[in-house]
Chains A and B, each alone.
Chain A
């Protein structure tokens, strides 16, 4: 799933525009696997498995792989449907310098939710 994020984000002009002030690396943990997301002005340059201990990005968001799987469903169960609901329920953690995350909160939430089918929430 995580490999679909790059194309989904980069093909979403509105999402890239909202992230135009974001140029940084951050880490996403899916279970035991860590990935480095490299963002350049809202576009995802690369998503690569972390290979070196000293490569960490500005902040890290981690959850178990079955938590992400539920999060990426069209209609996730409660406590899995949103990053902050996952934090509230203890299903996910965020660490590091979270200021750029908070400054671009909708951008990062939408990037992480990108694998979800695009017609979510429609009647």
Chain B
């Protein structure tokens, strides 16, 4: 027998925005449920290193699912005639439906990039549902810095251009093996999916006018952002933290926009203290 990793993957079907969708989920470990949300245009494989780290899995049941239209989750039936566009409401509903379907009690939710944004929305609207939220590369307001029309058109390869855009979001110090694995996920995304996610990330998901209402006494908020992130910059992270009273923000030197997948060894140095605090 090969030396299997401790990660197991399964499928189930849940209702998302009125559509039954076949969802792929991976998990490892036992303890407090830790739901992990991948970045725009990628999938749950980004969290594989957390799932094989006993310092995490001894205390947490780490669960990462692929959003509908992403990774090994299906798009809804009839997708061929739809334009995919993620909204704040649909994203919140998807995460809540997932937690309900899995019957998770008081989970921690950790998301990166668009996942880091939605966990802040969840802390605002559903503080009673989550033990804490961890926003990786998450801010309450961002400004887009390239034209997303380039991401889905017939004369440009969608996977190549998505990876070409985000390659600069990986820190130059990150190991080449993990830099290219992170970019491989982007090259594998479905047509127009990264663009549809960025609708939430850069257009629909801003809520800096309301983020100050998050009650961190009910739902603690932790922000971890990489120094080399060009979208959720250290400055935007710190501005978000200043609006969310009681939140704790850390800028991670030498890391970019994909901490858990681009440099897992360095990321755990910042993630473990936060996870330890949450469970104590």
**Do the two shown chains form a genuine complex with each other?**
yes
Interface residues of B in 135-179 (CB under 8 A from A): 145-146, 150, 155-157, 160-161, 163-165, 167-169, 171-176, 179
In whole angstroms, what is the CA distance A103 to B280 when docked? Answer: 50
Given contacts A84-B145, A102-B161, contact A123 B175 (CB under 8 A): yes
How far, in angstroms, from A100 to B150 measured CA to CA in the complex?
12
Which chain A positions have C-beta within 8 A of B156? 99, 102-103
B230, CB-defined interface residue at 8 Å: yes
Asked if A89 is an interface residue, CB under 8 A from chain B, the answer is yes
Give the bracket for the number of chain A residues in contact with chain B: 20 to 34
Partner of A79, one of B155, B163, B230: B230
Asked if B167 and A122 sit within 8 Å, CB to CB, the answer is: no
B164 cross-chain contacts in A, Cβ below 8 A: 102, 105-106, 109
* A83 and B165 within 8 A (CB): no
Cβ 8 A contact of B145, one of A87, A105, A122: A87
Which chain A residue lies CB-closest to B228? A78
Judge if B43 is at the interface, Cβ distance under 8 Å: no
Encode contact with B along A73-86: 1 for CB under 8 Å, 0 otherwise.
01110110111110
What residues of chain B lie closer than 8 Å to A89, measured between beta carbons? 230
A51 → chain B closest CB, angstroms: 31
Residues in chain B near residue A105, CB distance under 8 A: 160-161, 164-165
Option from A74, A84, A102, A123 in Cβ contact (under 8 Å) with B168:
A84
C-alpha gap A75/B228 in the complex (Å): 11
Q: Are A109 and B171 in contact (CB under 8 A)?
A: no
B66 within 8 A of A: no
Tell me how far the C-beta of A24 lies from the nearest C-beta in chain B, rounded to whole angstroms. 15
Q: Check if A76 sits within 8 Å of B172, measured CB to CB.
A: yes
Q: B150, B163, B171, B179: which contacts A81 (Cβ < 8 A)?
A: B171
Q: List the A side residues contacting B175 at CB < 8 Å.
A: 121-123
Q: How far is the CB of B163 from chain A (nearest CB, A)?
A: 7
Question: CB-defined interface of B162-202 with A at 8 Å, one 1/0 digit per residue?
Answer: 01110111011111100100000000000000000000000
B227 within 8 Å of A by Cβ?
A: yes
Please tell me if the beta carbons of A99 and B155 are within 8 angstroms of each other in the complex: yes
Q: Which residues from B are CB-within-8-Å of A103?
A: 155-157, 161
Q: Which A residues lie at the B interface, using CB under 8 A?
A: 74-76, 78-79, 81-85, 87-89, 99, 102-103, 105-106, 109, 120-123
- 22 A-B contacts, Cβ less than 8 Å apart? A74-B172, A75-B172, A78-B228, A79-B230, A81-B171, A81-B172, A81-B228, A82-B167, A82-B230, A84-B145, A84-B165, A85-B230, A89-B230, A102-B150, A103-B156, A103-B157, A105-B165, A106-B167, A109-B167, A121-B176, A121-B179, A123-B175
Other than the given A106-B167, A109-B168, A123-B175, 17 more pairs (CB < 8 A) read: A78-B227, A79-B230, A81-B168, A81-B228, A84-B145, A84-B146, A84-B165, A85-B230, A87-B145, A88-B145, A103-B155, A105-B160, A106-B160, A106-B164, A121-B172, A121-B174, A121-B179
Q: Which B residues contact A (CB, under 8 angstroms)?
A: 145-146, 150, 155-157, 160-161, 163-165, 167-169, 171-176, 179, 227-228, 230-231
